[in-house]
Structure 1
Amino acid sequence: MNLNDVSLFIRIVETGSFTSAAESLGIQKSTISRRIAQLEDDLGVRLLQRTTRKLKLTDDGEDLFARCHPLINELESAKDYLSATQDNPRGRLRITMPSELGVFMMNEVVGTFMRRYPQISLEVELSTRVIDLIEEGIDLAIRVGELADSSLIARRVATVSRGLYASPNYLQQHGTPTTPEDLSDHECYGILKSVEHWVFDGWGEAIPVKGQLKANSISFIREILLQDMGIARMPRVFCRNCVQRGELVELLPDYPSPPIEVNAIYPSRRHLNPKVRLFIDHMMEMIGDHPWVNEQLVTPIESLA
């Protein structure tokens, strides 16, 4: 049994298809098919049931995956550790992050990391879905907002200041709130997650809010605000130009919105992938000067050494 073929089998299961595995590894799909067929011949069992639309593990395939997945991870960790101790670390690093965080904040971090470590290949998935890092073989997730309880390790990267915004026309039509309590009478749009109560510094209790719209894109919500449709809580830097042009107004400056956290999440493995450490260290070098980050609120992650 060839361990390289076993590793390839694990990759197919992680990505969900021969095509995705081939694209992620940069090899031909026909090569993958041939090597899996050879692995099945070596073992004398069928591992995968393949159709034109679906890929399903057989019982033997599920057993091989369950037994070999942690072993392959350990081998990859050992290889990563040895690679990271060299002058030119190499290998693959898989990262997931929300789309707009990637496009507007993390793109420069990723670009400079690639120039700094040209032998490390990056796979970045931009998505708002909560990915099972261990199940899908993801090394690092960058997530925004409150974190659910889990066995994963979370390191706070930074905090981003937020404000409350609406268009002048909306305020002219519906009135301008002067206290958080007034928001109960307005259309309040949630971002990323369904939030039914907003908290404000200097105001004792959470305010119940309601609105016709919830979305997972701050760009989309901002466009809705520009159509005079309601009030939303947004990163300040994302609305700064609109405020300067008079298209949006920041509300309730005496009752600041709590900042939102940006966290780096990675699996709780016995040996941390050294490339994750390299990326986080590099990110912390870059992120403090980014306009999305409130410099007075930046909190460096703890040392991973």
Structure 2
Amino acid sequence: MKARRGIYAAAVTPFNADGTVNTAAHIAYCQHLLSDGGCDGVAPTGTTGEGTSVTLSDRIAMPAAFAKAGIETDRVIFGTGAPASGDSVALTKASCDAGFTNVLVLPPYYYKTPSDDGLYAYYARLIESVARDDLRIYVYHFPQMSAVPLSVDLVLRLKKDFGAIMAGLKDSSGDFSQSAAFIEATGGVDADFDVYPSSEAMLWDGLSMGSAGVISGSTNGFGALAQTALNAPEGAERDAAMAKVKAARAMASKYPLMAGMKQMEAWRSGDDNWTRMAPPLMPLSDQQRADLRADIDAFWEETA
């Protein structure tokens, strides 16, 4: 089943002291995001989830743990990209075998300036090796981090050749004109191709053109605000809801996003273990933590 549309959190990942994933805390957290957290879905092991820093064994085991916990399969898009195509195949098979057939796949990001033919071959090998008609791939355009942009022509070629298996795209470029270009070229939701910008500040700009929602790091902390804006009627109510969304996003953007969202969860849960980061990333400094606390308190006071 294709992933439902709407508000997604690129879920942060809790680590044990030895660097392994705290699976129980991770599942409980994603369940929170899917309920009180206001999200329609979660995207674990993406950029905000430090997915490229999670061991392959932990990433392979994760979908089965989510399935055992009863998390609905159409509410999860697992990140399964890897520089080695065989690793991406193994991760994607593990996700599909657990019932989670929707996957978010970075391009192979070690070699820079690959040709479109080379990138096409990577995704084609993944599709042919997994060999499942129910596989649904969301390609992941994040040139600032991967340094491997995905061209509109490549996306159209993959969509033409692999049909429904090419389910959509996450655009983390931060440039709405890029999201708009992908939507216009593919037809967006009207053509059953789901483009997700990476900021909830772009929510209604995207929806008005045919996006499927957003997949965002800051919805870890502010998903309920985005959900309110998603469901608000057009006019003054929606404008007011979106003003809160944009203010929250701007506040979150003042801090390292992953560390900031983890700090917010540490406060919410009362568990400081949430502040652990996978090296080379680091937790917030004492000053950053104090500033974030003050900003959050002021934000909720001002928007109450």
Task: Compute the TM-score of the two structures, normalised by the length of structure 1.
Answer: 0.23
Whichever of the two has the greater Rg, that structure is: 1
Where relative contact order (Cα < 8 A, 6+ residues apart) is larger, the structure is 1
More strand by share: 1
More helix by share: 2
